Amino acid sequence: MKNLKRMFAVFLMVLMSNFLANLVLASVDGPSVFWKYSLWGKRRAFTEGAETLSKRLAEETGGKFKLKIFYGGQLAKSRENWDGLKANSFEMATVCNFYHPKKNPGLMALTLPFLPLGQSFDRDAKLRQAVYDHPILKKEASKFNGIYFMTSNLPQYEFMGKGKPPLKLSDFKGMRVRAGGGVGTAMVRLGATKMSVPAPETYTLIARGAVDAVSFPFTYAHAAYKIPEVADWYTANLSPGTSDCPYVMNMQAYNKLPKQYQNLLNSLRGEALESLKAAYKKADDKNLPAWKKKFTEIRYDDKTLAEFKAKVGKPIWDEWVAANKDQFDAQAVLDVILNFKYSNIK
């Protein structure tokens, strides 16, 4: 009997200590909320912002605000996250613009080649957020019940490939390249064949010889999708552009949150971005030394890059504006990017 009482007393003490710990740790009080986050692939540098949000929301609310990340396309395939948000299938997702250009034509501005991106992580994040904040982009997202939360701030793209290395840009002629958005359009101008393939499918295609080269955010994505296992070479300074894969919230779900939870979410944006910044750097620090030893590293001279930029930069910008001007003020969206000012480059 005494042992039973002692066990019961210990149980109460543990229960009370856990309760008090939650009270102390929870700096934001509110109701229990469970959000689902839709992602494809596995955990990688690109997803560290979402992981940080999940962890910090739980910490700040004593576990009351749970954001569970579903990897591997469990909730929706990579091309279907806008549709899932619209259908209220989940409360948050990452969307990549070039997977569904007709659903987010304004967001496609950020895939155009040779935009003034890549000067610094912090500047790029501010620039992309400025694009999301434009009324045209807000309206575009709202059609799918979405609110742009923050950028994944992808690094510049580079190519990694199998077979003969393209030591000259003319060597890309006839190559089958995995390249989306404006980067893909730029490569077509070099005579390459563009293939828009979901990231998880690229390894199999290049291994089988169905694709000659893959463009991904350099370096984390090539490693995440195991391209180095079958590659022979990579470009180190082509940097033709990038794509945009923002974190998007379900508008209805966000509007239902109590104000303190909305404020908490928004206050964690900076921490989430910093975790992405650190993750991309960690990947580069690991990958680059090994790749330099193992693969043929290709660097193009300044004259070659300048000629390429003149050929595919502004001409493709102008074509994009002309193609979209009847749908929305495409020039206004592009101007946000071209005229962006940020003085605190880090």
User: What are the pLDDT digits (tens) for 132-191?
Assistant: 999 999 999 999 999 999 999 999 999 999 999 999 999 999 999 999 888 999 999 999
Supply the mean pLDDT for the chain: 92
- At residue 1 the predicted structure's pLDDT band, cuts being 50, 70 and 90, is low
- Torsion sign over Cα 170, 174, 175, 181: positive
Which residue, among 55, 54, 5, 62, has the nearest Cα to 28 in the 3D structure? 62
Q: Name the DSSP class of 154.
A: P
Q: What is the largest CA-CA distance in the chain?
A: 88
Query: Which pLDDT score is estimated for 10?
Result: 43
User: Which residues, 6+ apart, have CB-to-CB distance to 289 below 8 Å?
Assistant: none
**Both tokens assigned to 221:** 């994505």
CATH 3.40.30.10 fits 157-242+285-312, yes or no: no
Query: Which pLDDT score is estimated for 22?
Result: 46
Query: Which pLDDT score is estimated for 23?
Result: 44
Among 7-11, 58-62, 273-277, the minimum mean pLDDT is found in 7-11
Q: Identify which has the larger pLDDT, 344 or 29.
A: 29
User: What are the pLDDT digits (tens) for 284-328?
Assistant: 999 999 999 999 999 999 999 999 999 999 999 999 999 999 999
Task: Round to whole Å and give the CA distance between 90 and 67.
Answer: 11
Query: Which pLDDT score is estimated for 44?
Result: 97
Whether 16 shows a pLDDT value over 90: the answer reads no
The CB density around residue 113, as the number of other CB atoms within 10 Å, is 26
What is the CA angle 327-331-336, rounded to 5?
A: 120
Q: What CATH number should be reported for the domain whose range is 12-153+244-283?
A: 3.40.190.170
Inter-axis angle of helices 121-132 and 269-294, nearest 10: 130
> Domain-by-domain residue ranges, the chain?
12-153+244-283, 157-242+285-312
Whether 14 shows a pLDDT value over 50: the answer reads no
Task: Round to whole Å and give the CA distance between 25 and 224.
Answer: 34
- pTM summary value: 0.88
User: What are the pLDDT digits (tens) for 25-81?
Assistant: 569 999 999 999 999 999 999 999 999 999 999 999 999 999 999 999 999 999 999
Tell me if 338 sits within 8 A of 116, measured CB to CB: yes
Q: Same topology for domains 12-153+244-283 and 157-242+285-312, yes or no?
A: yes
Task: Round to whole Å and give the CA distance between 283 and 220.
Answer: 5
List, in sequence order, every beta strand (DSSP E) within 173-270: 176-178, 193-195, 213-217, 233-235, 247-250
Residue count of the chain:
346
Secondary structure of 34-52 in HEC code, one letter for each residue = EEEEECCCCCCHHHHHHHH
Whether 5 shows a pLDDT value over 60: the answer reads no
Tell me if 221 sits within 8 A of 148, measured CB to CB: no
User: What are the pLDDT digits (tens) for 106-122?
Assistant: 999 999 999 999 999 99
Which residue, among 146, 137, 33, 35, has the nearest Cα to 87 in the 3D structure? 146
User: What are the pLDDT digits (tens) for 188-233?
Assistant: 999 999 998 888 899 999 999 999 999 999 999 999 999 999 999 9
Radius of gyration of the chain (CA): 23
